Amino acid sequence: MTLALLVVLVDGAAAQAADMSCQQAPGNRFYWVERAFCDLEPSGPEKARGLIVWNHGISGTLESYKAPAPLAFRLLQARGWDVIMIKRHNLAETMAGGPLHRTVQRTLEEVKAQRKLGYRKIVLAGQSFGGYVTLDAADEAPDIFAAVALAPGVRAGSATGRLDASITDRLLQSAKTGRIALVFPKDDDLFGNVVRGASADRILARRHLPYLLLDETSGLVGHGGGVGGRFAVRYGLCLADFLSAPELPGGRFTCQPAGDPWLVVRELLLPAPSDRPAIVTDPAALPNGLGRFTGLWYGLIDEAIVLFALVPAEGPKLRAMYRSSSFTRSGSVYDVEAKGGRVHLTLPRKDRVTVGLDADGGLITWTSSDGSRVLTGKLLRAPE
């Protein structure tokens, strides 16, 4: 019975599902393909800047396929790139021989399929195991426009083995791609806090190809330092510039962290004017004690970017727009309750959000529906 199941899983890797909707269940498939952001319309091969093919990480039997694409890639799609994800069945990750070779080959198959559809510029991208797959696939395909690898690596021997950083270095010496972007966050304890930026810099500098290296000095921390809101706010525009430039000289591409995070927040979360609710700008329109809540506010809660604003009430009810990078953006206006100078709202999954103000700006608290997790953050007033 086990053998039969594995055969079905492997055979299923050869065919791409026609349905590219988001959050699919794997069923008996080893691989399938989804759009990364189903609330954003793809431009298509004729109009898109190019196509980004994302590979996620690996966590043994955990359902890694549920992890979303990095928020910075949403920014790239908003700027004209189409983004798709190759998903892997978690139960097949531990099959004999490991998933590396199969995943690389499946990625190369997808590249060929997307070229037949008309995409000319194809970028391979991934995080952790997916980042290593990206570099390995780029080493086998000479026509990849760029490779983007976030904390790339594989463990020697098994899922519990140590990280062999030299494997990644060897791929950096030979990957056949026009551009390489690498992110090595500081304090990556999943891989034993190995410092890899300096070695990668030496290797890529000798190759004279354009490369973007955000190493352990870039202010990014932890194994997932390249996938969340902090990376998107600090370096999302930098990555977009690196990939979108028509021509680049060989050598290291440099950019400073974004000085004004609102530029990224506005692009990612602010609805188009036609879809945007009216925002309260007159303190007199608000109940007593809430006059300072006028206008738009934004900030970070853990790795999620959030946008908040009170909107004109309908009757006696107070309402607010609340948008977060961590969940779908449909239906972003909610009834709220004002109590003790703070605003309280309940999200569709019963998570709770409380917004208050202090002398320095706004304070926001998110509490999970069961009360087991509480996250806090600072809010800044948007300039518009």
In Å, how far are 10, 17, 210, 217, 234 from 206, measured between CA atoms?
Answer: 40, 41, 11, 21, 28
Range list for CATH 3.40.50.1820 in the chain: 2-259
Confidence of residue 153 (pLDDT cuts 50, 70, 90): confident
Mean pLDDT, residues 136-159: 86
Greatest CA separation found in the chain?
70
- What are the pLDDT digits (tens) for 220-233? 999 999 999 999 99
Residue range(s) in the chain whose domain bears CATH number 2.40.128: 271-381
**Tens-digit pLDDT profile for residues 157-202:** 555 556 677 788 999 999 999 999 999 999 988 878 888 999 999 9
Phi, psi of 361, rounded to the nearest 5 degrees: 145, -145
How many Cα atoms within 13 Å fall on the side-chain side of residue 370? 1
Confidence (pLDDT) at 13: 37
Residue holding tokens 């390489």?
Answer: 180
Q: Give 318-364 as a DSSP string.
A: EEEEEEETTS--SS-EEEEEEETTEEEEE-TTS-EEEEEEETTEEEE
- Judge whether residue 338 has pLDDT over 70: yes
- The tens digit of pLDDT for each residue in 21-69 reads 888 888 888 899 999 998 889 999 999 999 999 999 887 667 788 888 9
Q: So what's the architecture of 271-381 in CATH?
A: Beta Barrel (2.40)
CATH superfamily of the domain spanning 2-259 = Alpha/Beta hydrolase fold, catalytic domain (3.40.50.1820)
CA atoms within 13 A on the CB side of 320: 26
**41's tokens:** 């319309």
Tokens found for residue 69: 């694409």
The predicted-structure confidence for 2-12, as pLDDT tens digits, reads as follows: 334 443 344 33
Q: Which phi and psi (to 5°) does residue 293 adopt?
A: -85, 15
Question: What pTM did the predictor assign?
Answer: 0.87
